[in-house]
Structure 1
Amino acid sequence: MSIHINHQLPDPELLKKEIPMSEHAQMIKKKRDQEIRDIFEGKDDRFILIVGPCSADCEESVVEYCHKLAQLNEVVKDRLMIIPRVYTNKPRTTGDGYKGMLHQPDPNSEPDLLEGLRSIRKMHLRVLKETGLSTADEMLYPENRSFLDDLLSYEAVGARSVENQQHRLVASGLDIPVGMKNPTSGDFSVMMNSVTAAQHPHRFIYRQNDVNTDGNPLAHVILRGGVDKYGKTIPNYHYEDLRIVYDLYQKAGLKNPAVIVDANHSNSNKQYKEQIRICMDVMHNRKYHPEIRNLVKGLMIESYLKEGRQDICENYEKGISITDPCLGWEDTKKLILDIYAKCTEIQEL
């Protein structure tokens, strides 16, 4: 057999005991979860920003970045709900390349998933304890979320995973919002089918158990653009796209219709500076179209301490993305303040 065992990984509950949450951290997380739920249920009109690096590659840099977010949050928290994007698993189109801190706690060292599990739990917990901001991550491996399920306030199912049955079924058992990205093809029907599946209850095998789920009424759409059969990117953040998604929600009769617009990936063609213009375009449409305003609950923005990207090398510079290019902090700060101003204009309508 060609599968070779490197480590037997611990039960999630054992890792939680090894790296525990304090009662204070639990209280902060519970409060944040309720506030985020209220936004998706239409009880709170704050706007969500899921913002952070393409990949969380270094604990110190990520925590430093999140401290900056927390300071800015104090200025904008009456209009915005900031959720740090702390992505520790990275899907790779060809299977090659950096797969995230879960695989490689040190990007210059060999993969070590046992140490990776410890590292990502410590990092998410440290962000929560030091900044008071609970985090978002990607559900790349459905079974692995059990190591972080007490820490995360938001999860996303990526474009390459959204058609997978196990992702859809596990999402139906989450008690936090889970965003279903459109697939790389851009097909809206696949995305809507995933939301429908996640909102309904299911029975299936999970971590060697026969389980039932209640369905997740907070499952929703993430628009990240697509790629046609010729490899050309097709953005889907425009007003016409949002109207189509609105109509699909009405037809499907799903709970809590919601869209998060991912401003990077195929919406920006990975031209990271385009995120600024895309965010402002979305905010413009929210201002002038009440149905779109109620539908679009937030934006996803890729941002780090310094702009751009770099290849991994022995002395790579911490705080610059080693995967997709990101906005730098100064542009991010200005963008968040501009989004805050737009939200204030909307409140005054």
Structure 2
Amino acid sequence: MTVITENLNVESQEVLITPAELKRRIPLTDAAANTINAGRVAINNILKREDHRIFLVVGPCSIHDIDAAKDYAQRFKKLAEEVSDTLLLVMRVYFEKPRTTVGWKGLINDPYLNDTFKIEDGLAIGRQLLSDIAEMGVPTATEALDPISPQYMQDLISWAAIGARTTESQTHREMASGLSSAVGFKNGTDGGLQVAINALMSVSKPHRFLGIDGEGQVAIIHTKGNPHGHVVLRGGSGKPNYDSVSVSLCEQEMRASGLLPNIMVDCSHANSNKDPALQTLVAENVANQILEGNQSIIGLMIESNINFGSQKLSSNRAEMQYGVSVTDGCIGWDATEDSIRKMHAKLKDVLPKRMA
């Protein structure tokens, strides 16, 4: 009798559309390409201190409603143009959500919010949305969670994050070393900085690892290394780390490791004690640090939606509130506009002096 030793816990397998085929079906237009490239160049120049602005990654904790996401993007575009002399706004368009145990894993994994897990549909829906938003002239940001999905999406992304749960992962460091955009590594969930600093040292170097190519063939990927990595402070273990002392300690640790102290502050998560309303206070504090002479803060992240708060997921869309997050709570659009306009007014005469 033949003893079976593989796939004992695998129920079934499905062949997925290749990245190349999805890109043929939903091609990158010239308008979208120009938006994505302009966003990448601007972010890289900010990191190199060749652009006096700071960049803000702002938007829903996760995307679950395509119409609401486009509505948000239209509002976002107008605000981005208004503050563009001082702040570079990049829309947060997150399709993948890491879960501590189980739960909805995002639009790619379960696009219909009903546990049908139509992943191929999710990839197509996500790619089309990114293309539509880029064609509006709005650069986009996302979290690179699954190591395969960047082959389907990365050409439409201007900035990527590696989350607190995966910053220590060798797989994600290797993947990030080949990403075409700048990438921010969050500190660990315990608030520790060392995992993010180690990640930055790793991601800047060439790597070789198993992955897939554009035709879906398993391949050995050889990367050059990503020179545009930076730290994202998001707090940890119930304690914030956006204050001036924490930022200064982060600067010291980065310099000691031979890294340029480029620091982004996540206004959500432990930095706001998971209270979305507190994000605007964090943003105000960070702006004040820059006013007082900080040279290392190059960006912020804010979880924002059309309406405040969060709601439970439902497969019946009629039961759900429009423009309200189904994952972490977000501030509403009015508070978003107010916070960003105040930051713009506060920093418009200060940031150019950081270039001197």
User: What is the TM-score of this pair, normalised by structure 2?
Assistant: 0.92
- How far residue 175 of structure 1 moved from its aligned partner, in angstroms, is 2.6
- CA separation in 1, counterparts of 2:35 and 2:144? 22
- CA separation in 1, counterparts of 2:248 and 2:284? 18
2:263 to 259, 262, 274: 259
- The answer to whether the Cα contact below 8 Å between 2:85 and 2:348 also exists between their aligned partners in 1 is no
Name the structure 2 match of 1:126.
132
SS of 1:103's partner is coil
- The answer to whether the Cα contact below 8 Å between 1:47 and 1:343 also exists between their aligned partners in 2 is no
- The answer to whether the Cα contact below 8 Å between 1:237 and 1:282 also exists between their aligned partners in 2 is yes
Name the structure 2 match of 1:101.
107
- CA separation in 2, counterparts of 1:226 and 1:236? 8
Q: Does 1:280 align with 2:289?
A: no
Q: Does 1:317 align with 2:318?
A: no
Name the structure 1 match of 2:78.
71
- How far residue 109 of structure 1 moved from its aligned partner, in angstroms, is 5.3
Q: Does 1:181 align with 2:186?
A: yes
Task: Show structure 2 runs of 5+ residues with no match.
Answer: 1-7, 213-217
2:49 to 21, 34, 42: 42
Name the structure 2 match of 1:230.
none
Instruction: Return the structure number with greater relative CO, CA threshold 8 A, min gap 6.
Output: 2
Larger radius of gyration between Structure 1 and Structure 2: 2
- How far residue 79 of structure 1 moved from its aligned partner, in angstroms, is 0.6
Name the structure 2 match of 1:304.
305
Q: Does 1:219 align with 2:212?
A: no
Name the structure 1 match of 2:251.
246
Deviates more, 1:28-37 or 1:239-248: 28-37
- How far residue 110 of structure 1 moved from its aligned partner, in angstroms, is 2.1
Displacement over 6 Å in runs of 4+:
none
Identity level (%): 34
- The answer to whether the Cα contact below 8 Å between 1:108 and 1:312 also exists between their aligned partners in 2 is no
Deviates more, 1:233-242 or 1:101-110: 101-110
Q: Which one-letter code corresponds to 1:64 in the other structure?
A: D
- How far residue 28 of structure 1 moved from its aligned partner, in angstroms, is 2.5
User: What is the TM-score of this pair, normalised by structure 1?
Assistant: 0.94
Aligned length in residues: 338
- How far residue 318 of structure 1 moved from its aligned partner, in angstroms, is 2.3
- The answer to whether the Cα contact below 8 Å between 2:53 and 2:351 also exists between their aligned partners in 1 is no
- CA separation in 2, counterparts of 1:344 and 1:200? 36
- How far residue 279 of structure 1 moved from its aligned partner, in angstroms, is 0.6
- CA separation in 2, counterparts of 1:245 and 1:178? 17
- CA separation in 2, counterparts of 1:173 and 1:305? 34
1:190 to 195, 208, 227: 195
- How far residue 52 of structure 1 moved from its aligned partner, in angstroms, is 0.3
Flag the 1:284–1:16 CA change in 2: closer, same or farther, 3 A.
Answer: same
- The answer to whether the Cα contact below 8 Å between 2:79 and 2:337 also exists between their aligned partners in 1 is yes
- CA separation in 2, counterparts of 1:67 and 1:127? 8
Q: Which one-letter code corresponds to 1:225 in the other structure?
A: G
- CA separation in 2, counterparts of 1:210 and 1:111? 28
- The answer to whether the Cα contact below 8 Å between 1:171 and 1:178 also exists between their aligned partners in 2 is yes
Name the structure 1 match of 2:204.
199
Name the structure 2 match of 1:333.
337
Q: Calculate the aligned-residue CA RMSD, in Å.
A: 1.3
Q: Which one-letter code corresponds to 1:139 in the other structure?
A: A
Task: Show structure 1 runs of 5+ residues with no match.
Answer: 228-232
- How far residue 312 of structure 1 moved from its aligned partner, in angstroms, is 1.6
